[in-house]
Structures are given as C-alpha cells and as structure tokens.
Amino acid sequence: MAFFQNNFWGEKNAGFDVLYHNMKHGQLATKELAEFVRESAAIEETYSKSMSKLAKMASNGSPLGTFAPMWDVFRVSSDKLALCHLELMRKMNDLIRDINKYGDEQVKIHRKAELKSKKAAESFALCIEKYNRVGGEFEQKMSESAQKFQEIEEAHLRQMKQLIKGYSHSIEDTHVQVGQVHEEFKQNVENIGIDNLIQKFAEQKGTGRERPGTGKERPALVGFEEYMTALAPEGGKKSRAKAFRIPGLGKRDKEPDSTDSVVTEAL
C-alpha cells in the first residue's frame, strides 16, 4: 500500500521532512535495539554467574549425612543452567554484532539516498522556471520520494524484524534447554529414592556389616575381642596412659561387660 504517497502531502516540504527524519530515526531505532539486546545480554550474564555461584553453594553442601548426594543433583542442574544462560549471552552478543553491522549498512544506504535526493533537487531546480509545470512536477517528485522513503522504511523494518526474530529464537532455544535442565533435575530427584540414599549412606559410612542373626557371617564384636585381649597378659593397662584414645579402646581393664557404653545412648 502506498501509505507514504497518500499521507505526506500538505504544506510545502513538511511531508518530505517527516519522511526524511523518519528514515534518520531508523538509525536511532537500530542503535536502541542494539542497546536493548546489550542490556539483555548483561542480564543473562549476571544470571549465569549467579547460577555458577549457586552451583558452588550446592557443591559446598555438607558431604555428611544421607542427604549429601542430593547436593550433586542441585550442583549439576545449576551448572547446566549457568551454561544455558551463558550461551544465550553469547548468542545475544553475536546478534549485537549483526545489529551493528546492519547499522553501518543503514548509514551507507541513507547516504546514497541523500545523494540521490540532492541530484533530484538539482534537476528539479532547472524546471522551476516552467511555472505552469511546477504543480505536476512537485506531485510527481513528491510521489517518487514518498515511494522511495517507504521502500527504505520497509527494508529497514524487515531487517529489524529479522534481528528481533534472531533475538526471539535465541531466547526460545535457551528456554527449551532450560526446560530440559529442569526436567532432568526433577527426574534426578525422583530417581534418587529414599532407599538409595539410606543404602548409599550405609555402604559409605557403615561401621560394620552383617548384622547378627541375618544368617550371614556374624561380625566380630570388637568389644568382646578387646575384652579377650585385655584378659591376655600383654594387654595390661598400657593404653590407659595414652592421651589420645581411639573410641571404644579406652576401657580395657574394666569389667568384662565392656559393652556397657555401647548402648548408653541407644534409643
């Protein structure tokens, strides 16, 4: 549609001025878009760094207790999120380069357009004297200018929309990746059953296997062994003098029921 040709008439070159300045505003819009994307990239970078910090926090989670393996799930997930957002920042930085490149091209296009404008003005100056043709000439020239301005504007907006699509796609890709990380996190949390955690802890921190009465080999009841050792002549009161006592090794010369302290804290 010939929107510009239909709407920018009026007082002398007022319409021309508006269209000319609109073209120039295109350069501002390009710059502003680059600034907007730059700010977005900065936000993503900050977010990415925060996620790395969160991953570090998770990796510093206490390695003690049954809950410990869960921190690994948090750490992996946070690290991946940090990567997703870092990748988005990178894509946005690439986009800023594209926008700036377009901005440079745009300046060139406008410069050419200005040259043509000057030429048109010169050739038109020659016709000024032919007074009776001025009206028609003006209409024709104004129409041509409006059409050209509209073409430039359409190309500009097409380019800007293309750049915005790039922005949108990058965000969309990241959003999909982030969704996968969340899904993974959820799955990982579900997969780590409570039994798994209990078992893992029992295997890693277990103090002795084979509970008596399970049919498996009966564990050595160290208390009794110590008692037996204590009864032997070489045991004596040797360990008593030691300042540092290994737990459970401090009551050798006591009553034979050396297990008395074993359950003092039992529930």
**Between residue 166 and residue 195, which ones bind its own copies under the rule CB under 8 A?**
168, 171-172, 175, 178-179, 182, 185-186, 189, 194-195
With vertex at residue 118, the alpha carbon angle to CA 115 and CA 123, rounded to the nearest 5 degrees, is 125
- Tell me whether residue 233 is exposed, middle or buried, using C-beta atoms within 10 angstroms of its C-beta: 0 to 12, 13 to 18, 19 or more: exposed
Smallest separation, CB 253 to its own copies (Å): 15
CB-based contacts of 13-17 (< 8 A; 24+ apart in sequence): 15/142, 15/146, 16/142, 16/145
What is the chain's alpha carbon radius of gyration, rounded to the nearest angstrom? Answer: 40
| Residue 8 touches its own copies, criterion: CB under 8 A | yes
**If DSSP codes are grouped into helix, strand and coil, which group holds residue 253?**
coil
64 interacts with its own copies by CB under 8 A = yes
- Minimum CB–partner distance for residue 21 and its own copies (Å): 7
- Residue 93, interface with its own copies (CB under 8 A)? no
Pick from 59, 61, 98, 230 the residue near its own copies by CB under 8 A.
Answer: 61
Smallest distance from its own copies to CB 152, Å:
9
Which listed residue (89, 99, 106, 145) binds its own copies by CB under 8 A? 145
Does 107 engage in binding with its own copies (CB under 8 A)?
A: no
Which residue lies nearer to its own copies by CB, 236 or 256?
256
Q: Which of 213, 208, 203 is nearest to 223 (CA)?
A: 208
What is the rounded CA–CA span in Å between residue 70 and residue 144? Answer: 70
- For position 254 contacting its own copies by CB under 8 A, the verdict is no
Minimum CB–partner distance for residue 234 and its own copies (Å): 20
Residue 75: count other Cβ atoms within 10 Å of its Cβ: 18
Alpha-carbon gap, residue 169 to 255, rounded angstroms: 78
Q: Per-residue contact track with its own copies, 199 to 238, x per CB under 8 A? A: x-xxx-xxxxxxxxxx----x-xxxx--------------
